[in-house]
Structure 1
Amino acid sequence: MLLVYTHKITPRLKYVFKHVCTRVLGLEVSFTSKIEEFITHDSLKMSYTKQHLGNEFFIKSHDLLFEQGLSDVEINVQSWDDTKCFFFNGDKSGLPFDIFAASFYLLSRYEEYLPHVKDEYGRYVATESIAYRYGFLNQPVVDIWAYKFKAALQNRFSEYVFSEKKYRIKPIIDVPSAYSFYQKGIMRTLGGTLKDLSQFKFKRLYIRFMVILGFQHDPFDTFKYIINKQKSSSYKFLFFFLIGDYSTYDKGININKKQFVSLIKQVADYCHVGLKISFFATDKIDVLKKEKVQMESIINNSLKASRQSYSRLNFPESYRHLVELEIKEDYTMGYVNYIGFRAGSCTPFLFYDLDYEVQTPLKICPYHVMDYALLKTRSLLDKKQVLNELIKKIKKVNGEFVPVFHNYTFSDAERWKGFKELFNMILESSNEN
């Protein structure tokens, strides 16, 4: 166990030390502000304060972990070996940067509480983040810093044996609409038919009626293929089904359709199933509660995980709603059109509410790539290279890789050509050195 001496034990300090030490490094940590207790401790120990006590392992602290609320934090990003960091603390410290304050800034999403420009869907965009602006969005910097901290501790306490984590995968299958043409109802089918005719999409019109008449398989119905993949994989897939009402943004299947309910139940027999929260339920807890109850009645179990429609977070209210409804995990933390690490980490972390200065029980599981982001690279070879580089970085810190694919990604549509191969590559990555 690591004992940390500090002049003031705060919720922020306990939160970030437990993430870096326990969740990333597998190292238990405790805290003291009593010098006598610190001196008598005979295992790993360090001081985290403004001045070192003697010749102990010491990291000079930034003020961030001892503050409350939001302030105008000065960020000066600098290079550090093969990565970048901020909150430089000088040569007398065991590490040249206060990695704990820097990690807290990224994990708490401090910058998302500050004024920023949103996109057309009300989302925080990657280009607003310091990670994008200073060129470290493509690195799990919090985990990298943690391993630098581990190396420094090992150098000081050579007899201590650290536990080791393993690289793991959590594949996400997002289902905004289970079917393209099937189970859409008379009015939506009529509207789609008129739209196809007006846009001269005769091939699409032909497929539409072949599916409706039962002569052809619905292009979005790839569930048999995905379930077969699940059967041969040691990692449980996590499906997110949209069951919210039809709206401008959400165009899923009506939850009253027995075939759709049957599909969700079938998938739940093999995979984990969560709720894809509809666009308007992100802001309205009463709508979210209704969707939660509906999903629980289908899967006959309490709802454990959620993902927001369009990866839209109304920060921090969206997370507060999940906490209030006792949803344990959320998989929205990521960028739709950019590959990388929105919170700087590939290790799940707990939501820290900066307004209330409290750690919540909600586990944030950030995703690192969505299929749409891979469309930005042209050839299949380039896509493979991008994925391989991402996997290599996550493996280096024994992190958890969370890719997001959609049910229609596995269709025969031209734009998704080769994506089955990419998905297989991800599943097989755990077997490679």
Structure 2
Amino acid sequence: MSTISSASLLPAINAAPVLADARLHYVLRHFALAYEAVPAGLIGYADTQQSITVADAAAGFFQAQEPYPAAPNYREWAGQRVPVFFDAQPALPLLELAPGRCRINADLISAAFYLLSGWQEYYSDSRDRHGRFPYAASVQKRYGFVALPVVNYYFDVLRAAVEYVTGQPLRPRRWAGGAPVAAFISHDIDNLRSSWKVPAKADLKAVRLLRFGRRLWRHLTQPDAWDNLETVAATVASYGARSTFFILPEHRPGADGTPNADYRIDRPLWRRFLHLASQGFELALHGSIGTATDFARLSSEQSETFAEPASGIRFHYLRWEPRQTPMQLEALVMAGLRYDAALGFAEHYGFRHSYCHPFYPFDFTRGQPHSFLEIPLQVMDATLHHPNYLQLRADEILPALQPMLAEIEKFGGVASILWHNDHFDPANILTGPRQFAEIMAYLQQRGAAFLTGSQIVADLCGA
């Protein structure tokens, strides 16, 4: 996939150096969200008096603007070979124990901050043709760990240290009803009217005029196969679950010609969406092409589409400009925005920020966390078989995903699955309803709590 590498096409970098205390605060805030009742004040850098000390090995990296640190070393931890950035003493044990104290001999605070904050994409100038930071430019691709939640392994080292010092177990957080893992199922509603177009074009190309005429007549007189909101909801509900529908307000193409919705939101359609909401499904905003970098249009779509502001957003085509989009979302928080759900790689399933829990994106301008939550995306249907992406066969999908889903379960995280409504068309035998059913059955068997985005925010933040 082509990339744009010219910095002149991107917003300017507007960031201050991130000092050790800021990195420590950011990382420990998320550590405390991942486990229950984490004691405060135990962890610090080696020049402090805390019971658990971490080697300071960043060597000025965060005072510069390089997107990539030195290559990681690899350490064995919890049955995995884990890449560890900022590991200046690889010959020493990762965790060194002494009576009442322990030392972590790699800078796991800086390593966790680097991955979780999205440092690489903020400072990199690489973007694909949709303006996204590409998987090909990531450390996850370079070092082969996209399906491993590396930050969770760093946190597991911290957990072991805390348990040793305190003598008390530190348990992963539980989700609604005491579930060991959560699942966030979502649907981007891009197309409701276009299932007939591809086969119709094929008929015309092959001069099958009678078949084309019949197809056109069905299109004009019968509901489209993708006009299936109720079918999607019923399918999800059959697993005792509720999901989140991201609604795309704009039907005109973006300025770059990228299509938006193939429908207009008229009153009958909106009544259908409201009926889904009355059944416990969530309605959220699917920001149209261009809104990730245009606050006026984004704010207009939010206010004109929803009578009450939507709590969640995901941008169409997973667009996200790290130097601009988070600040736009921060400006919508006062209007009711609580979370974003766009941060996954379109090209590969896995962990774009190497973390399987929701997190607060880092504000590089102010040097502190943003106030909206990110529910990172791990699986998108199109990723699994799109010609530009993985091209998995139907029977390869669940086996490919199971190791990643097992990692999420291991750490009590959130499995975020995006399945577009048009992929519920029975004609789709590659990434269609059968493959969705296999994933849902697997999650159900593993005891996942199926939660909407707003429910995840409430569960995690207590409001």
Counterpart pick for 2:436 among 423, 426, 430: 423
- CA deviations over 1:218-237 (Å, ceiling 9, x no partner): 12122222211232334430
- CA deviations over 1:123-153 (Å, ceiling 9, x no partner): 1100101111011111011112212321232
Matched, 1:316 2:323: yes
Paired-residue identity, %:
19
Q: Find the residue that maps to 1:230 and give its secondary structure.
A: helix
Distance 1:64 1:363 in 2: 30
Measured at CA, do residues 276 and 163 of structure 1 come closer, stay the same or move farther in structure 2, by a change above 3 Å? Answer: closer
Q: Is the 2:249–2:264 Cα contact (8 Å) retained in structure 1? A: yes
Q: Could you tell me the TM-score, scaled by structure 1's length?
A: 0.83
Give the aligned partner of residue 6 of structure 2: none
Q: Is the 2:351–2:378 Cα contact (8 Å) retained in structure 1? A: yes
Matched, 1:212 2:220: yes
Unpaired runs of at least 5, structure 2: 1-18, 97-101, 175-179, 448-463
Please give the residue correspondences for 1:86-165 in structure 2 after superposition, counting only pairs within 5 Å: 86-90=85-89, 91=92, 94-160=103-169, 162=171, 164-165=173-174
Please give the residue correspondences for 1:9-408 in structure 2 after superposition, counting only pairs within 5 Å: 10-20=21-31, 22-28=32-38, 30-31=40-41, 45-46=42-43, 48-51=44-47, 53=49, 56-63=51-58, 70=65, 74-81=69-76, 82=80, 83-90=82-89, 91=92, 94-160=103-169, 162=171, 164-165=173-174, 166-180=180-194, 197=204, 200=207, 203=211, 206-214=214-222, 217-247=223-253, 248-270=257-279, 271-297=281-307, 301-326=308-333, 327-375=337-385, 376-408=390-422
Q: Find the residue that maps to 2:104 and give its secondary structure.
A: coil
Per the TM alignment, residue 174 of structure 1 is displaced from its structure 2 partner at its CA by 1.1
Measured at CA, do residues 377 and 404 of structure 1 come closer, stay the same or move farther in structure 2, by a change above 3 Å? Answer: same
Per the TM alignment, residue 374 of structure 1 is displaced from its structure 2 partner at its CA by 1.5
Distance 2:153 2:24 in 1: 19
Distance 1:425 1:395 in 2: 17
Output the amino acid matched with 1:380: A
Output the amino acid matched with 2:332: L
Measured at CA, do residues 200 and 68 of structure 1 come closer, stay the same or move farther in structure 2, by a change above 3 Å? Answer: farther
Give the aligned partner of residue 185 of structure 1: none
Q: Find the residue that maps to 1:170 and give its secondary structure.
A: strand
Per the TM alignment, residue 95 of structure 1 is displaced from its structure 2 partner at its CA by 2.8
Give the aligned partner of residue 36 of structure 1: none
Q: Find the residue that maps to 2:127 and give its secondary structure.
A: coil
Distance 1:284 1:196 in 2: 40
Unpaired runs of at least 5, structure 1: 1-7, 32-44, 183-188
Q: Is the 1:69–1:354 Cα contact (8 Å) retained in structure 2? A: no
RMSD: 2.9
- CA deviations over 1:269-318 (Å, ceiling 9, x no partner): 23111111001222211111111012212xxx321000111111112311
Q: Deviation above 6 Å: which 4+ runs of structure 1?
A: 192-196
Distance 1:251 1:321 in 2: 20
Measured at CA, do residues 390 and 323 of structure 1 come closer, stay the same or move farther in structure 2, by a change above 3 Å? Answer: same
Q: Is the 1:10–1:65 Cα contact (8 Å) retained in structure 2? A: no
Per the TM alignment, residue 408 of structure 1 is displaced from its structure 2 partner at its CA by 0.6
Per the TM alignment, residue 389 of structure 1 is displaced from its structure 2 partner at its CA by 1.9
Measured at CA, do residues 205 and 346 of structure 1 come closer, stay the same or move farther in structure 2, by a change above 3 Å? Answer: farther
Measured at CA, do residues 201 and 168 of structure 1 come closer, stay the same or move farther in structure 2, by a change above 3 Å? Answer: farther
Q: Could you tell me the TM-score, scaled by structure 2's length?
A: 0.78
Per the TM alignment, residue 241 of structure 1 is displaced from its structure 2 partner at its CA by 1.2
Per the TM alignment, residue 366 of structure 1 is displaced from its structure 2 partner at its CA by 0.6
Measured at CA, do residues 163 and 249 of structure 1 come closer, stay the same or move farther in structure 2, by a change above 3 Å? Answer: closer
Measured at CA, do residues 143 and 201 of structure 1 come closer, stay the same or move farther in structure 2, by a change above 3 Å? Answer: farther
Distance 1:328 1:408 in 2: 27
Output the amino acid matched with 1:233: Y
Distance 1:72 1:411 in 2: 42
Q: Is the 1:13–1:65 Cα contact (8 Å) retained in structure 2? A: no
Distance 1:163 1:346 in 2: 12
Q: Find the residue that maps to 1:402 and give its secondary structure.
A: strand
Matched, 1:432 2:425: no
Q: Find the residue that maps to 1:424 and give its secondary structure.
A: helix
Distance 1:359 1:201 in 2: 58
Q: Could you tell which deviates more after superposition, 151-160 or 378-387?
A: 151-160
Output the amino acid matched with 1:57: I
Measured at CA, do residues 255 and 118 of structure 1 come closer, stay the same or move farther in structure 2, by a change above 3 Å? Answer: same
- CA deviations over 1:242-275 (Å, ceiling 9, x no partner): 1114112234145453332223222222311111
Q: Is the 1:123–1:314 Cα contact (8 Å) retained in structure 2? A: yes
Q: Could you tell which deviates more after superposition, 92-101 or 337-346?
A: 92-101
Per the TM alignment, residue 73 of structure 1 is displaced from its structure 2 partner at its CA by 6.0
Distance 2:268 2:321 in 1: 33
Per the TM alignment, residue 171 of structure 1 is displaced from its structure 2 partner at its CA by 0.6
Measured at CA, do residues 30 and 155 of structure 1 come closer, stay the same or move farther in structure 2, by a change above 3 Å? Answer: closer
- CA deviations over 1:104-136 (Å, ceiling 9, x no partner): 111111111223322111111001011110111
Q: Find the residue that maps to 1:339 and give its secondary structure.
A: coil
**How many aligned positions are there?**
396
